Amino acid sequence: MAHLFLVKDIAFQAGLSTATVDRVLNGRPGVRRQTEMRVRAAIAELEKQHAGAVGSGRTLAIDIVMETPQRFSDAVRAAFEAEMAAFLPGIFRCRFHFAEVMKPAELVQLLDRIRLRGTHGIVLKAPDVAEVTTAVARADAAGIPVVTLVTDLPNSARIAYAGADNRAAGETAAYLIGEFLVDHRGKVLVTLSSGRFRGEEEREIGFRRVIRAHYPGIGVTEISEGHGTDAATGTLAAAALAADPAINAVYSIGGGNRAVLAAFDAAERPVRVFVAHDLDADNRALLAARRIGFVLHHDLRTDARSAFRAIMSRSAASGRPIPASLSSVEIVTPYNMPAGD
């Protein structure tokens, strides 16, 4: 298998041992097809990064670590790759580490591996738990800047947050749903991927505050720990609908929207208004089909640019956190949906 890279770089990109990668590269027996595919994908990713890094200027290798559903990680990857190609004078090489579900211990192990191997910075979407905060402190002590993405770790040693104002986004969702349901009443199903993420918690707090203050006749019921995956989220939504006949609207904070809609269809229940987050491929299709009414979207390329700037501007002399540069939230409907990339 022809390649230009060190075995350890391929192994790190693929998340495999150097011995396993060596077996694949030399065509030795006893290697699963799935493992071979991971090595090929890692080489392809490195080739793409190498091509984008050719040219003058400083090259910084950074690691993007996210626990998130694939549909969102695909959107983040596209945004960082697009911004990486356009960002000058610094040239960034991004190594992506994505998983739909990670135990805190697995995430901490990955962060420590990155720290020990070496990196110019880490962009992190992770749950706000003590183990992760401690791992961020270890990275910072090693001189590695950490920027949180989409969901913050405000009590950690991260140098900046790149993303939207999540509390304002939740308040916006409450306004849209409240104005739509004001003459119908009913109850809103609020879906979270997990209560461990600070950004989702902030969205829910903002949502509940506005509903309580301005639309007290509208009820709220919450489901959580579906991790944004269709199977788990659909099961939780179906149970909630079976238990409460008043549910007639959805505020999707954590994703799994196709499954939530399928649960309403199976129960033969209408959805008066559905507000979701992020204009990923699934939500584009659902919005175009008018299955959901509004998508609260923020530009991930803006977030990528903020992360790059924070890592580049980290001053060893000051070591102070960099003020947040929040990306704006746009209300997208079927009539103002921007063209896809």
Instruction: Return the CATH number at 251.
Output: 3.40.50.2300
pLDDT of residue 315: 46
How far is residue 322's CA from residue 313's CA, in Å, rounded to a whole number?
A: 9
Q: Is 2 part of a structural domain of the chain? A: yes
Q: Is 337 part of a structural domain of the chain? A: no
Q: Is 334 part of a structural domain of the chain? A: no
Rounded to the nearest angstrom, the gap between the alpha carbon of residue 223 and the centroid of all alpha carbons in its chain is 19
Give percent of the chain above pLDDT 90.
68
Q: Is 335 part of a structural domain of the chain? A: no
Reduced to 3 states (helix: H, G, I; strand: E, B; else coil), residue 275 is: strand
Domain range for 193 is: 166-297
How many domains is the chain built from?
3
Q: pLDDT for 242-271, tens place per residue?
A: 999 999 999 999 999 999 999 999 999 999
Instruction: Give the CA dihedral 76, 87, 85, 333, nearest 10 degrees.
Output: 40
Q: Are 285 and 121 in contact (CB under 8 A)?
A: no
pLDDT of residue 325: 67
Answering whether pTM is above 0.85, one says no
Q: Is 338 part of a structural domain of the chain? A: no
Domain check: are 242 and 96 in the same one?
Answer: no
pLDDT of residue 46: 74
Domain check: are 69 and 100 in the same one?
Answer: yes
Domain check: are 192 and 264 in the same one?
Answer: yes
Domain check: are 70 and 155 in the same one?
Answer: yes
Q: Which of 7-16, 97-106, 213-222, 252-261 has the lowest mean pLDDT?
A: 7-16
Q: What mean pLDDT is predicted for residues 220-227?
A: 96
Domain check: are 41 and 83 in the same one?
Answer: no
Q: What mean pLDDT is predicted for residues 31-47?
A: 85
Task: Estimate the crossing angle of helix 33-53 against helix 7-14, to 10 degrees.
Answer: 110
Domain check: are 156 and 305 in the same one?
Answer: yes
Q: Is 304 part of a structural domain of the chain? A: yes
